[in-house]
Structure 1
Amino acid sequence: MSDLAIQTNGLTKRFGAQAAVDGIDLAVPQGAVYGFLGPNGSGKTTTIRMLLGLVRATDGSARVLGSEMPRHLDAVLPRVGALVEGPAFAPFLSGASNLRRFDAADRHAAPTTRGARVAEALDRVGLAHAARKKAGAYSLGMKQRLGLANALLMPRDLLVLDEPTNGLDPQGTREVRSLIRSFAADGTTVFVSSHLLAEVEQLCTHVGVMSAGRLVAQGTLEEFRRSGESRVEVLTPDSGRARAVLARLGLVTDAAGTWDPADAGEDGTVSAVLGDSSPEPDAIVAALVGDGVRVRGFAVRRESLEQRFVELTGEGFDVVG
């Protein structure tokens, strides 16, 4: 049995000459909270629609919960809960009635326990008080919660959530994040599409980054944190000597730094890039001091996740959670 809940190979979707998704190889481990991150229009929703069999791929393959899609659609979908492109409900029916309709459409759902399932799902997303209220009178955030409740009507091995906190106020956003963490704690794999960097940072164990239809990076969140550029900055009046020491240690220093030779004897900053085999910061300081460099300040600057993602995609992300 595969240890991947989702696996794609060269998955591609073209609309005419335009490749909305261009040969991506997803690897989503079972039990992970996988953040599918990218600017709006980068191909995230089209990918999800292919994974769920809503759109047929132009090329490549996809396996969900160990089975090829869409060939084994009937066997896979009962094990998957999904919220894609925002929920759509009958506005003249109550929230509970909408859920009962969706539950009745599931041939795997026992009619005798339908009421209990609906009530439990509404309670879990904080909508028990609005169960009898017409869905047309729900706010956008309440509709989003109702969509989550629909995804939770039956036990799921995989949840696929497209922008799950869209339209929620800060309190609602925190509640949904807590829900997602609880799903993962129960062993459910959660695949979360988002353009919100803060959401992915706070929720996810793994990340895939999309840009213009391509998967430009993938790995654990910790690997992303380590993959950005790190630099050391030395504040010293002895810039030439400091550069010589850093070069001897195998560090690539800035050509000129921020120190102006005309300011000889005054403090300036010399910076250098840290590599995987670079000495530890305390060893760098010891080497500088040992060579007579007057170290007035020393810092290690690590590239933020935001900087890393912008570097990968060439676009900014909404970082407001």
Structure 2
Amino acid sequence: MTDAGAGSSAAPDLAIATSGLTKTFGRHTAVDALELAVPRASVFGFLGPNGSGKTTTIRMLLGLVTPSGGRAQVLGEAVPDRLARVLPRVGALVEGPAFYPFLSGEANLRRLDAADPLASPRTRGARVAAALDRVGLVHAAGKKVHAYSLGMKQRLGLAAALLAPRELLVLDEPTNGLDPQGTREVRSLIRSLADDGTTVVVSTHLLAEVEQVCTHAAVLRAGRLVAQGTLDTLQGAARRRVRVLTPDAGAAIAVLRGLGLSPEPADPDTVLATWPAAGDDREVPAAPERLVAALVAAGVRVRGFSAAGPSLEERFVELTGEGFDVAP
């Protein structure tokens, strides 16, 4: 896991790299010295409670808001200085899609495609049809957008972001308003895009989205980065819980305490422990089987043993001090 103070540098394997990126509104600091590193071809979860600075960061990366300080690079180019080179390679869905309500979904996409100076008019119909098909809106292509449900508008926003091949796709709450089937389809779409080499940044506060599609994540709290890294690393950095069923509780406690855990009896035949113990910097055997081996070697009769890490929800609550919504 990368600590909040770690620096980021522009590297070929990073789709997004920021250094000291800051945004203030008057006396309020919305984003505070952000050091973000998004690997290419990753599905990157950008996480934090509402108001933590996620959307402001995205808007700075896309040139919609001018940073107050720091630097940012997107796809190897400095932003906002070289946005003209960056934006044609980026698709985005930020803060909900906006369309002409009395035009059809297909007509809206045609207008958006026509606004792209790099898009050939001769192949416009094929691009629009492919984008609608990819998000499952072919059946509603001719329907006026004011009659679309929230989920259908969200799908149309995804289609707009996919009108051209993209190296980077930035999605702000991409499953907002979708039913369970639509949510599964969007997850599948995100995975397929990443498999094709597209970097996908998913800004969300729904942990189910992170657990099911993301390979990496960063966690913001009050505008500051508190952790980032692979999903496994983020979860593995927290303390784990151990449960030992044994008639030799006293001996088990002594062994576990000697290994750097913080054991305590739960009942006469059960010992509970966490590792590492709070404030203990000693190296602790991470593999549960090593803990069992140490207990057995000390003559402890082990009748049951279990070890579990914290859930993703518990880890993020620990990092941010606030709860997250957990989708079904």
Asked if Structure 1 and Structure 2 have the same fold, meaning a TM-score greater than 0.5 normalized by the shorter chain, the answer is: yes
Map residues 108-257 of structure 1 onto 2, 5 A cutoff.
108-248=118-258, 250-254=259-263, 256-257=264-265
State the 1:223 CA deviation. Answer: 0.9
Q: 1:95 to 1:280 in 2, by over 3 A?
A: closer
Question: Residues of 2 paired with 1:95 and 1:39: CA distance?
Answer: 32
The residue that corresponds to 1:289 in the other structure is 296
Question: Residues of 2 paired with 1:94 and 1:280: CA distance?
Answer: 57
Question: Residues of 2 paired with 1:164 and 1:279: CA distance?
Answer: 36
Identical residues among aligned pairs (%) = 67
Contact map agreement 1:239 1:270 (CA 8 A) in 2: no
Q: Is there any run of 5+ residues in structure 2 with no aligned partner, and where?
A: 1-10, 277-281
Contact map agreement 1:210 1:216 (CA 8 A) in 2: yes
Deviations 1:115-155 (A, max 9, x none): 11111111111111111100000000000000000001111
In the alignment, structure 1 residue 278 sits paired with structure 2 residue 285: yes
The residue that corresponds to 2:43 in the other structure is 33
Contact map agreement 2:168 2:198 (CA 8 A) in 1: yes
Q: Is there any run of 5+ residues in structure 1 with no aligned partner, and where?
A: 260-265
Contact map agreement 1:246 1:272 (CA 8 A) in 2: no
The residue that corresponds to 2:8 in the other structure is none
State the 1:279 CA deviation. Answer: 6.4
Question: Residues of 2 paired with 1:106 and 1:162: CA distance?
Answer: 22
The residue that corresponds to 2:322 in the other structure is 315
State the 1:242 CA deviation. Answer: 1.5
What secondary structure does 1:126 align onto? coil
The residue that corresponds to 1:263 in the other structure is none
Contact map agreement 2:91 2:169 (CA 8 A) in 1: yes
CA RMSD after TM alignment: 1.6
Contact map agreement 1:44 1:193 (CA 8 A) in 2: yes
Question: Residues of 2 paired with 1:179 and 1:86: CA distance?
Answer: 18
Deviations 1:275-313 (A, max 9, x none): 754164334334333433333322112111111111000
Question: Residues of 2 paired with 1:252 and 1:179: CA distance?
Answer: 43
Question: Residues of 2 paired with 1:280 and 1:4: CA distance?
Answer: 32
Contact map agreement 2:17 2:72 (CA 8 A) in 1: yes
2:269 counterpart letter in structure 1: D
Contact map agreement 2:246 2:300 (CA 8 A) in 1: yes
Number of residue pairs matched?
A: 313
In the alignment, structure 1 residue 97 sits paired with structure 2 residue 84: no
From 11, 18, 29, give the equivalent of 2:28.
18
Q: 1:116 to 1:300 in 2, by over 3 A?
A: same
Contact map agreement 2:154 2:174 (CA 8 A) in 1: yes
The residue that corresponds to 2:270 in the other structure is 268
The residue that corresponds to 1:57 in the other structure is 67
171-180 vs 294-303, which moves further: 294-303
Contact map agreement 1:228 1:304 (CA 8 A) in 2: no
1:144 counterpart letter in structure 2: Q
From 98, 102, 108, give the equivalent of 1:88.
98
State the 1:246 CA deviation. Answer: 2.0
State the 1:172 CA deviation. Answer: 0.3
State the 1:98 CA deviation. Answer: 0.5
